[in-house]
Chains A and B, each alone.
Chain A
Amino acid sequence: MFIKLAIKSLLYRKTSVLFTLLAMSMSVFIMVGVEHIRLQAKTSFTNSISGVDLIVGARTSNINLLLYSVFRVGEPTNNVSLSSYQALLDDTNIRWAVPIALGDSHKGFRVMGTTNQYFEYFSFANKQYLSLKKGTEFKELFDVVIGSQVANKLGYVVGDKVVLSHGIGVTSFTHHDHLPFRVSGILSATGTPVDQTVHVSLQGLHAVHLPKAKIKSVLDRKGSSLTMLDDFIPQSITSVFLGLKSRIAVFQIQRKINSNPNEPLSAILPGVALSQLWQTMSIFDNVLRLISLLVFISSLLGLTAMLCSSIKERSHEIKLLRMIGAPAGFIFWFIELEALLIAFLGSLVACSALSFMLLYGQSYLIDHYGVVISANILQSMSLVVSGLFVLLVFSAALAPALIAYKEAKT
């Protein structure tokens, strides 16, 4: 009866209740949306690399090395010499070392030179390894393996010809069009920067930068099979991903690399660098949360105002309820229940709308921003947040409920 009373009384004043409900839905939509996307972005971000124990590059800061080697953002300050790379390979503590070379691009997507070992060892998220959706790894000198987003956006299929451009702009004036590459494989989507990367063999990447005549003479002599082409191994690379035999040795190896007497190098732990990078973004993060909280509070104040103004016109109702035996406390909880009902209904509308939008916006987000956002928003809402929500709504209705209580008492 109590709930029925509150529902019917809200329905009776449906116009003002409807607008309050809309304001409430909007604010909850913004609040939950911001929180969900924030958490998902963070997961997506920290998922971009795993299983790599150390990243080695020229002497630079943690974040810079992480940015260019994993996110392909910005420029490497310097290169790592081939001899240092070979020294790493010889280290008994190191299980594998995958070289990467950056610098070229293809229609706005970064080109990364590496070896077939990259596909074997690089993992992301929860130790998920890369897998080919179509085609094969590098077999020939000019084979490329493209990320899923590159394939989607440019509409490439296995066998298509690809021309790399020198430099990293979308519009480059130097195209390596004398040596077109061929798409040999397309990777499955990962939700990481891998999706936006064009992978070529180290030798292939080096070869396009050499004079045409030299390439031709080598190819004529040895054929184009990748395994035979030691001539095209570059003298330097951008950075190296390392996997250790035992993770316990990680700090020891890091120290050894950082104090390498032959070349100034930096070795970073990807996990540490990722959290450092995320922390630099936390101000932006907190501002977003603050704004969504303020929007929510303003909608709560709207609720308070609506309820307060309703009390005046309901003094007869209160008197009637009192006369038929309703305790004054009942009147208090009646108003509180109305507020909680509006808030609950508003949240329900907001969450359904958000889930619906995410469900249909997911593919757009992956295609355009490479962010994987799950439509399951419930996991972003903790019990604490829900409790806080109820508490805030309760406090917002406190003033009108007390006014009604006072009215009931006199």
Chain B
Amino acid sequence: MIVNFSDVKFSYSSLKEKPVIDILNWSIPQGTKYFIYGGSGSGKSTLLNLLCGLKHPQNGSIEVLGQKLELMSNRQIDRFRAKNIGYIFQQFNLLNYFNAIENVQLAVTFSTSHRQSINASRITDLLVELGLAKTDIFKPVEELSVGQQQRVGIARALINKPKLLIADEPTSSLDESMRDQFLSTLIAMCDENKTTLVFVSHDKSLKKHFDIVKSLDEFNKQNGMANVY
């Protein structure tokens, strides 16, 4: 199991009776493509923040790659995240004032273990592999199309060869044809790197691409649904 939640409770105000996240037992098997379905306000973002160690639960234990996050210092979690977790946002995946190559480089900078082994030509190769023209690589990212930007986002998320890739509604800003192209690229890249993919979306039509499909409500008690396990 690459991710394991046990008895995790999280609420934004500790006085609040009902936690946003209340997961008794939940895990993601290594190497799978895991689809989490959830409507807006179901606690998807909170779940992902917990998974990345950006937020800490009031109760319970979260294990990622065999490491218990609650036993690590903030600084250790930051380094751990830089090294092991890739993340693709719904939008604003890139810094507008950097070009594609610099955006990917930035992710390398924060991952100390990869700083030496990854040079500019490797980044260029990856971007080309993802279908970007060489001329587009040095353009300010603002001048790229949304589809191109999302592909630079994939490159940024995968450059450090993370064990776990989290995608938070990455397709919602894309139209249908681009969406399928994006998904197949993403899944191919994950297969190539043997990366576990956690994909969160409200769009159920995407579920055919994934090994495991779960609704957040199935394992999060927050909305009053019974715990499956």
Contact = CB atoms under 8 A, between A and B. Distances in A.
Interface stretch (A302-310, A319-327, A365-373): A319-327
A9 B110 CA distance: 18
A284 interface: no
Contacts of B107: 324-325
A272 interface: no
Interface in B167-225: none
Nearest to A317: B95
Interface residues of B, number: 27
B52 interface: yes
Nearest to A408: B54
A326 B97 contact: no
B82 A320 contact: no
Contacts of B52: 323
Given A5-B106, A320-B89, A320-B92, A325 B83 contact: yes
A13 to B, nearest CB: 8
Given A324-B156, A325-B79, A1 B98 contact: no
Contacts of A324: 81-82, 87, 106-107, 110, 156
A325 B97 contact: no
A8 to B, nearest CB: 4
Contact of A1 (B74, B83, B97, B106): B106
B105 interface: yes
Contacts of A153: none
A326 B75 CA distance: 9
Given A1-B105, A11-B97, A12-B97, A325 B92 contact: no
Interface residues of A, number: 20
A88 to B, nearest CB: 78
B75 A1 contact: no
A249 B180 CA distance: 102
* Dominant secondary structure of chain A at its interface with chain B: helix
Contact of B95 (A320, A322, A327, A410): A320
Given A325-B79, A325-B83, A327-B75, A320 B93 contact: yes
B30 interface: no
B111 interface: yes
A221 interface: no
A410 B111 CA distance: 22
Given A1-B106, A317-B95, A327 B89 contact: no
Nearest to A316: B92
A327 B106 contact: no
A119 B87 CA distance: 84
B58 interface: no
Contacts of A342: none
Interface in A309-360: 316-317, 319-328
B63 interface: no
A323 B87 contact: yes
Please indicate which of the listed interface residues B55, B75, B97, B98 has the most CB atoms of chain A within 10 Å of its own CB: B97
Interface of B: 52, 54-55, 74-75, 78-79, 81-83, 87, 89, 92-98, 102, 105-107, 109-111, 156
Interface of A: 1, 4-5, 8-9, 11-12, 316-317, 319-328, 410
8 cross-chain pairs, A with B, having the tightest CB-CB distances, nearest first: A325-B82, A12-B97, A325-B110, A316-B92, A8-B97, A327-B78, A323-B87, A324-B107
29 contacts: A1-B105, A1-B106, A4-B102, A8-B95, A8-B97, A8-B98, A12-B97, A317-B92, A317-B95, A319-B92, A320-B89, A320-B92, A320-B94, A321-B106, A322-B54, A323-B52, A323-B81, A323-B87, A323-B89, A324-B107, A324-B110, A324-B156, A325-B78, A325-B79, A325-B81, A325-B82, A325-B111, A326-B78, A326-B82
